[in-house]
Amino acid sequence: MADLKGLAEAIINGKADAARELTQQAVDEKTAPKQIIDEGLIAGMSEVGRRFKANEFYVPEVLIAARAMHAALDVLKPLLAESDVQPVGYVAIGTVKGDLHDIGKNLVAMMLEGAGFQVIDLGVDVPPEKFVEAIKEQKAQIVALSALLTTTMPAMGDTIKALDAGGVRGNVKVIIGGAPVTQSYADEIGADGYAADAASAVDKAKELSAK
Amino acid sequence: MERIRVTIQPEQRTVEVAAGTTALDAIEAAGIGLEAPCGGRGRCGKCRVMVRGPASTPRATERRLLGEAEIAHGARLACRARLQGDAEVLVPEEARLGRGSIVADGVERQVALDPAVRKIFAAVPEPSLEDQRGDVERLLATADLAGCVPDGIELARRVPRVLRSSKFRVTAVAIDGLLAGVERGRVSANPLGMAFDIGTTTVVGYLMDLRTGQQLAVGSRLNPQSRYGADVVSRIEFAGQSPEGLTTLNRAILGALDEIIDETCEAAQMRRRFIYEVAVVGNTAMHHLFLRLPPESLAVIPYVPVLTSPRYVPTQSVGMRLHPNARIYTLPNIAGFVGADTVGVALASNLAASPGLTVAVDIGTNGEVVAAADGRLLACSTAAGPAFEGARISQGVRGTEGAIDAVAFGDDVRIHTIGDAPAVGICGSGLIDAVAELRRVGVVEEMGRMLGREEAPAGLPAALRDRMEGSGGEARFLLVRPDEHPAGRLVALTSRDVRELQLAKGALYAGIDILLRRLGAGVAQVDELLLAGAFGNYVRRESAVGIGMIPALGLSRIRSIGNAAGSGAKLALLSRAMRAEAAEIARKVEYVELSNDSAFYDRFTGAMALAPMGEDRG
C-alpha cells in the first residue's frame, strides 16, 4: 500500500530523498500517477501553501519543499507522458525582458506544478515574442509574468501588447507579480490578474482556469 | 580567586589570568609588547585596545583620553580596563611597540608610510634686489616643489601675507609634490586625512594623521540614503524616478560624511581645514551616488557601471568642505555589484599574496566574497540583504553603543553590549550569536522555525524557557527582559528575524560555494577564511559556522578581520604604493555574475538549513 501520506509529509518537510524513494515505491506498486500526484504532491504543496499563508512557513521552507516536490516529479515525468493525467492547466511563466531575478518566479512555478499545472518555464530576460510562441506552440492557457524592478515593469505591458499583435490575447489569461507590482498596475496594463505571493498566485491561476 | 581566559587578537593567543587583571597585564602575560610610555599610569592614552567581554566601566581618565565616541565603539585603555570574565582583546598596530606601520584594526598588514601629502618647513630667503624672484617661486624653490596644485590661484593670493607676517618662515603642505597649502611659522599640527567606508547600511570614517599614520578618531553613521531604500537596487530606482532623485541621495550621503568629519575632528581636537586628502571605498552604487554619477545602468542587464578606474576629485567639486585644495581619491570598482570596498578588503588582507586558497567574506548588505588561489582572484556579490547590519531585524541596530554584540546561553542568557551600555538593540554579530545559540539549545529548528513556549525542548533550562513567548509566526525570544533593563526596555529576537538571517546567510554561503567550485576546489582545500564587516561587527567564528553561514572549517582557519574595507581605505590614504596595488587588484579580479550561474538557485536552496555546512576533514 503506497505511503502517499508519507510522501506528502516528505514534501512538506523538504526531504527530497525520501520524496523520491516514496514516489518510486508507489510507482513500483502500480499506484496510478494521478493518485500519486493528487494525494502526494498536490496534498503536500497545498499544505505548504496553507502554512505559508499562516506565517508558519516562510520562503526557506517553501524552497526546500519545492525541491522535494521536484524530486518526486522527476520520478513521475516519464509515466505522465504515457498516462492520461491531465494537468489542471498550462502555464507559461517567465521574468520579463531586462530582468534577471528568478527566485520568486521559480517559487510560483513550483507551487503551480505542485497544484497540478503543467508549467512551461521560459526563464529570465524573456522577450515578448517568446511568450507568444509558448502560446502558439505549447498551448499555454495562462501567461504568468514576473518583474522585480520598476524599471523592467513596462515590459509587462509590452508583452500584453505583443499577445494582442500576435492574435492570441483572447486565448489566454495573463497574471502578473513581483515586488513593485500592484493590482492597480495590473488593471492599468490590462492583465487578468495579480498575485502578491506564490500561494495566492496558485489560487488566482485556479480561479482563472475555471473561467 | 577566579581565573579567566583572555584571547589576544589578531594573534589568537590565549592566557589565563586572575579576574580583575588589567588588559595591559593580560597582553604582557601573552608575551605581546604594548606601548605604554607613561608606564601604565593612565596618563598618555597610548595603550588603546578594543575589548570584547566583561570589563570594568570606563572612568574619567579613559573618557578624557579616549573620548566618548571611541568608548562607544568598544575602545579601552589597556592599563585602565580590568577584565572581569573571559574576554577577547584586540591590540591594534599603533599600540604595539615598534610601530611606524599603518593602523589597521584587526588586519595585520605592515606597510611603509608613503602618503601623497607632505608637510615641509621652509625658511624662505627674503627677496632683495639681487633676488627678485616672485613670492610663489621662491617658496617653491625652498621647499623643493615642482609647482602649485592645479587651480592654485587662491593659494597664490595667500602667499605674500603669510610669508611677510612670519618673517618668511612657513610651513608648506604639498600633495604629490605640488604646493597645496601654506601656513605661518612652524606648524606643529600635521596634515590630516579621512578614510571613508561608505557601506549601503553603515558609513564609517577614520581621521588619520598623515605624517605619523596614526588613527586619531573614528565615527560612524547609518547611511541616511536608507530612507529612500534599504538596498542598492531600490536606491537606484529612487534615483531614476525623478530628476532630483540622484541629487537627493547625493546630498544625503554628503551630509552623513560631513557629520562624521565634525565628530572625528571634535574628538581629536583637530580642525577640518587641516584635512588635505580623503580616500573613499564603497560598493559601486555607493561610489556612484557619492560622485553623483547616474546609477541607472547598474540595475538592469548587463549591469555596467559608469566608472571603474580610480579617480582624484577635488573636494570642492564634490561639496566637501575641508582644506580648499584637498582632494579625494576613490579606489577602483570591479563590476556593477562588486566595488571599491571589495578592493579595499583584498588590499587590507593582502589576498593576492596569500599562499594557498584564501576566501574573504564581507558580512554586510551586499555580501561580497573574494577568493584567491593560484594567482587568480575571483569575486561575487551575493546580495545578502541588510540583515547582517541590523536592518529588517525588528530590533536590529548598527554596531554602536548599547548594541548587543555577543550572546551566550548557559543556564540563562548572557549578553554583551558595546560600551557595556544598556541594551538598545541587536547588531550583526549579536544576531548571529543569538541564532546560533537558539539553534544549539533547540529553540529554533534546523529549517528556521522558532518554537513557542509549549513546544520548548525537554531539558531546556527554565530561565531560557521563560524567555520564549508567543507561537507560530508571532514567536519571539526575549534576550533582555524589561526587569533586566535600567529603563525597563526589552530586546527580543522574533521568528521573522530568524528568517531574515536565514535568507541572508543562505545567499552568502551559496556565493562562497560557487566561487570555490569555479576554482575547482572544495571546502577542505580552503586554507583560510577571513570574515570582514562593518565597524563593530566582530562575528564569532563558532556562531558563523554553527548557523551554516560559512563552511564548517576548523576554527584555526577562520579569522575575523574587522572592517577590512575601511582598513583598505586607510592603507590607500597613507600609501601611494597601496593605490597602485589597488588598481592592480581591480584589473586582476574575475567577476562572477551569480544570477547567471545556473547552480546558484540550487546552492541557495541547499544552504537554507541553519546547520554547519560543507564537509571538512580538518
Q: Could you tell me where the DSSP H helices lie in B336-395?
A: 340-348
Phi/psi at B118 (5° precision): -130, 145
Q: Return the domain boundaries, chain B.
A: 3-95, 117-184, 192-330, 353-386+501-606, 390-488
The least confident of A28-42, B322-336, B532-546, B589-603 is B532-546
What is the three-class DSSP state of B45? Answer: coil
Note the pTM of the prediction, 2 decimals.
Answer: 0.76
Helix/strand/coil (H/E/C) assignment for every residue in B395-438: CECCCCCCEEEEEEECCCEEEEEHHHCCCCEECHHHHHHHHHHH
The three grid cell numbers given for residue B393, joined into one nine-digit string: 531585524
* Residue found by looking up cell 498551448 in the block: A139
Q: What per-residue confidence (pLDDT) applies to B223?
A: 87
The pLDDT value recorded for residue B102 is 38
Residue of A nearest to B297 (CA): A151
Q: Which amino acid is at B596?
A: N
What are the residues of chain A with a beta carbon less than 8 Å away from any beta carbon of chain B? 14, 54-56, 58-61, 63-64, 66-67, 98-103, 106, 124-125, 148-152, 180
Element (H, E) at A28: helix A16-28
CB contact under 8 A, B503 and A125: no
Check residue B237 and give its pLDDT: 87
Task: Give the percent of chain B with pLDDT over 90.
Answer: 61
Burial environment of residue B278 by CB neighbours within 10 A (0 to 12, 13 to 18, 19 or more): buried
- Determine the pLDDT at residue B618: 37
| DSSP E strand boundaries for chain A | 90-95, 118-121, 142-146, 173-177, 193-194
Which of B392, B444, B446, B447 is most worth mutating to test chain A (most A CB atoms within 10 A of its CB)?
B447
- Per-residue pLDDT band for A60 (boundaries 50, 70, 90) equals confident
User: Tens of pLDDT along B35-50?
Assistant: 665 667 777 777 889 9
Contact A152 B300 (CB under 8 A): yes
- Testing the interface with B: which of A48, A58, A70 to mutate, by most B Cβ within 10 A? A58
Domains B192-330 and B353-386+501-606 are alike in CATH topology:
yes
Nearest to A58 among B237, B448, B601 (CB): B448
Q: Output the pLDDT for position B534.
A: 66
Angstroms from A31 CA to nearest CA on chain B? 30
Interface test with B, best of A13, A17, A100, A106 (most B CBs within 10 A): A100
Contact A100 B596 (CB under 8 A): yes
Chain B residue numbers touching A60 (CB-CB < 8 A): 447-448, 499, 502-503, 506, 608
In angstroms, what separates the C-alpha of B255 from chain A's closest C-alpha? Answer: 28
Res B550 pLDDT > 70: yes
d(CA B391, CA B500): 10
Cα angle B353-B565-B509, degrees, rounded to a multiple of 5 = 80
CA distance A74 to chain B (A): 16
Residue with cell 507522458: A81
Across the range B253-267, mean pLDDT stands at 95
* Nearest-neighbour CA in chain A from B70: distance (Å): 39
Average pLDDT, chain B: 89
Q: Which residues on A lie below 8 Å from B604 (Cβ)?
A: 63, 103
Give the separation between CA B301 and CA B184, rounded to whole angstroms.
Answer: 55
> B448 and A100: CB-CB below 8 Å?
no
Pick from A56, A100, A103: CB nearest B301: A100
Superfamily assignment of B3-95 in CATH?
Answer: Beta-grasp domain (3.10.20.30)
Locus of grid cell 520568486: A104
Q: What span, in angstroms and rounded, lies between the C-alpha atoms of B382 and B366?
A: 6
CB atoms within 10 A of CB B271: 12
DSSP letter, residue A38: I
CA nearest B563: which of B103, B173, B225, B169? B103
Asked which of B287-296, B507-516, B596-605 is least confident by mean pLDDT, the reply is B596-605
pLDDT in tens, B432-488: 999 999 999 999 999 898 999 999 999 999 999 999 999 877 899 999 999 999 988
More confident residue, B459 or B386: B459
The domain covering B192-330 belongs, at the CATH homologous superfamily level, to Domain of unknown function (DUF4445) (3.30.420.480)
User: Which candidate from A58, A125, A180 shows the least CB-CB separation from B301?
Assistant: A125
Nearest residue in A to B607, CA atom: A60
The sign one gets for the Cα dihedral B440, B442, B446, B451 is negative
Average pLDDT over residues B18-38: 79
Cα gap B184→B52, rounded to integer Å:
45
For residue B479, give the H/E element and its range.
strand B476-480
In the CATH scheme, what architecture does the domain B117-184 have? Roll (3.10)
Q: Is the ipTM of this complex over 0.90?
A: no
Q: Do A98 and B301 touch (CB under 8 A)?
A: yes
User: pLDDT tens digits for A86-109?
Assistant: 888 999 999 999 887 777 888 899
CATH number of B353-386+501-606: 3.30.420
- Distance, in Å, from the CA atom of A56 to the CA atom of B226, rounded to the nearest integer, reads 29
**pLDDT at residue B201 greater than cutoff 90:** no
